[in-house]
Amino acid sequence: MDAKAWEKIDGLIDRDRGKTIRDRFAEDPDRARKFSIDAAGWHLDYSKNRIDGEMMNALVKLAEKSGLKEEIEKMFTGKKINETEKRAVLHTALRNLDPGATIKVDGKDVMPGVRRVLAAMGDFSDAVRRGEWRGFTGRRIKYVVNIGIGGSDLGPVMANLALKPYAKRNMKFFFVSNVDSTHLAETLREVKAAETLFIVASKTFTTQETMSNAEAAKEWLVEKLGDKKAVAKHFVAVSTAKDEVAAFGIDTKNMFGFWDWVGGRYSLPSAIGLSLMIAIGRANYKRMLKGYWKMDRHFRTASFKRNMPVVLALLGILYANGYGAESYAVLPYDQYLARFPAYLQQMDMESNGKCVAKDGSSVEYTTGPIVWGEPGTNGQHSFYQLIHQGTHLIPCDFIGCCRTHNPIGDLHDKLTANLFAQTEALAFGKTAEECRKEGVPEELVPFKTFEGDKPTNTLLCDELTPETLGALVALYEHKVFTQGVIWNIYSFDQWGVQLGKVLAKGVLGDLTAKKASGRHDASTNDLIARYRKANGRPA
């Protein structure tokens, strides 16, 4: 981070010590207008933060000093900014709907491939939805099971729920990710083999969890339908690895490809979104891409001061690095966004959970925060207490929609009232004086006083649609990117994930071999021994 730019920010934090968000609103009643941005169907109100115009200018300076403008251009134009893996980072190409766009990687335009796969996905999902693609015994496909994990699972899971109002209700969608056999077993209990399509979604097609589940699902299907040839009608693949797909036994005609420049956690708008496209249809899927694209263009062209992802990123940095906040909460007030916090957890924590700067040295400041959250109002009845009165500072993003897809009485008004009321209470708190005025007995005043001054952002859209969902995802993608640039870390690799993929293999040998090797530490050896004993295996 640029030291001089940061010094200025630190100075302003010091200068304003003791000044609360309540004071700031009293000083400047025009804050809501000044500190809000509209883009791609979303309204961001960031006025309930510990900021003023000077602080925002200082934060913007930090972004400018980081070379953000140039980095954005590098990303959008296909430069290999994922340097540790020597890859371009081009998820923005997947939703570039400009028919004349060309984006080159190693001298080759990637756009024709993007359009070709999108068209193939469209044809395939039309065929499944219309009942033209049938199972081996001639039955219509009614169940779709996506087998994938991490980036090949969380996006489809999140979006399938988010866009349920647009989905075909006479089909059912399942997502198997965990290598825990219960996940697959419980799913298979819900489906009928002759009417089930399995989508094996894996960029590498070597991931232990996915391949084990896919093999088990294949065995189950063959057993149920009594013919190996059935696999061709019930399994398709989404991958970058043609040979592995063929080796698994899937005809590569039924493989939907993507490219090494699509990171797993950024892959929802690639062929990884196939299950979603089957659910909502190609037209709605395209609407989602359009929403992404709108936010992409906003991010690329708006001035930093009026740039929604940049402003969100800078506020996050203010609290992480200036106030020592270790986490932030994402609180969607829309049941359809119930899986959004989990999706964001991967996007943010896998991208910016890094302690090494781009030059290989250790960073001397906090980087990626812990992300967590649950849909409102459920969270209000569990962990909000800590946000209101605990000792940790937890900035929150509240996400809401002005209209619901399911109007029932005044439920939506109540939901939204809770959202707004929470941001108000967090910002303004309740003083001891106010408690007394309400007649709170003196001995209870300390407990019923709310300090307030808790920062929140509010994101509002008219309605959760394919467009607004796409824009929301792109908003956070670019926020995370911006923070990575300012922290000077590589946001697009994930060596920690790779480590996990290798480690388990070593232990697996010891769980299943005739004899355990005993080559681990005392604790791990003991755990292995207990497991072996419980399963009747010799020590």
Residue type at 527 in one-letter notation: L
H or E stretch at 40: none
Q: State how beta strands 104-105 and 143-147 pair.
A: unpaired
In the residue annotation, 350 being an active-site residue is answered as yes
CA distance 3 to 9: 10
In the residue annotation, 381 being an active-site residue is answered as yes
Residue closer to ligand G6Q, measured from CB, 12 or 201: 201
Q: What is the DSSP string of 235-287?
A: EEEEES-HHHHHHHT--GGGEEE--TTS-GGG-TTTGGGHHHHHHHHHHHHHH
Residues 57-96 vs ligand G6Q: string with x where CB under 6 A? ----------------------------------------
Query: Does residue 532 belong to the site contacting ligand G6Q (CB under 6 A)?
Result: no
CA distance 392 to 384: 12
Sole binder of ligand G6Q in the list 146, 196, 202, 321 (CB under 6 A): 202
Query: Does residue 354 belong to the site contacting ligand G6Q (CB under 6 A)?
Result: no
**Rounded least distance, CB 311 to ligand G6Q, Å:** 25
Residues 208-247 vs ligand G6Q: string with x where CB under 6 A? --x-------------------------------------
CA torsion sign for 93, 123, 204, 494 is: positive
Residue closer to ligand G6Q, measured from CB, 336 or 476: 476
Sole binder of ligand G6Q in the list 135, 151, 395, 429 (CB under 6 A): 151
Residue closer to ligand G6Q, measured from CB, 348 or 397: 348
Residue closer to ligand G6Q, measured from CB, 350 or 467: 350
H or E stretch at 505: helix 495-512
CA distance 499 to 503: 6
362 by DSSP, 3-state: which?
Answer: strand
Helix 274-301 and helix 111-130, axial crossing angle in degrees, nearest 10:
140
Sole binder of ligand G6Q in the list 265, 282, 294, 479 (CB under 6 A): 265
Position of tokens 């990637």?
A: 110
Q: State how beta strands 36-39 and 42-45 pair.
A: antiparallel
H or E stretch at 147: strand 143-147
**Rounded least distance, CB 500 to ligand G6Q, Å:** 8
- Active-site residue, from 209, 350, 374, 467: 350
DSSP 392: S
Alpha helices in 318-398 (DSSP H): 340-352, 384-389
Residue closer to ligand G6Q, measured from CB, 9 or 255: 255
Q: Tell me the residue ranges of DSSP E strands in 402-493.
A: 456-461
- Please count the CA atoms within 13 angstroms of the CA of 236 that sit on its side-chain side: 27
**Rounded least distance, CB 156 to ligand G6Q, Å:** 11
Query: Does residue 525 belong to the site contacting ligand G6Q (CB under 6 A)?
Result: no
- Active-site residue, from 192, 501, 515, 533: 501
CA distance 69 to 219: 51
Q: What are phi and psi of 462, to 5 degrees?
A: -70, -45
CA distance 109 to 412: 47
Residue type at 43 in one-letter notation: H
Read off the tokens for 261. 């420049």
CA distance 152 to 387: 33
Query: Does residue 350 belong to the site contacting ligand G6Q (CB under 6 A)?
Result: yes
Tell me how many residues contact ligand G6Q (CB under 6 A): 15
Q: Closest-CB residue for ligand G6Q?
A: 150
Query: Does residue 269 belong to the site contacting ligand G6Q (CB under 6 A)?
Result: no
Sole binder of ligand G6Q in the list 56, 94, 149, 426 (CB under 6 A): 149
Query: Does residue 150 belong to the site contacting ligand G6Q (CB under 6 A)?
Result: yes
User: With contact defined as beta carbons under 8 Å apart, do 332 and 373 qualify?
Assistant: yes
Sole binder of ligand G6Q in the list 20, 36, 77, 204 (CB under 6 A): 204
Query: Does residue 479 belong to the site contacting ligand G6Q (CB under 6 A)?
Result: no
- Active-site residue, from 381, 437, 505, 514: 381
Residues 483-512 vs ligand G6Q: string with x where CB under 6 A? -----------x--x---------------
**Rounded least distance, CB 270 to ligand G6Q, Å:** 11
Query: Does residue 275 belong to the site contacting ligand G6Q (CB under 6 A)?
Result: no
**Rounded least distance, CB 346 to ligand G6Q, Å:** 6
Query: Does residue 257 belong to the site contacting ligand G6Q (CB under 6 A)?
Result: no
Query: Does residue 286 belong to the site contacting ligand G6Q (CB under 6 A)?
Result: no
Residue closer to ligand G6Q, measured from CB, 270 or 482: 270
What is the set of active-site residues?
Answer: 350, 381, 501
Residues of this chain that bind ligand G6Q (CB under 6 A): 149-152, 202-204, 207, 210, 263-265, 350, 494, 497
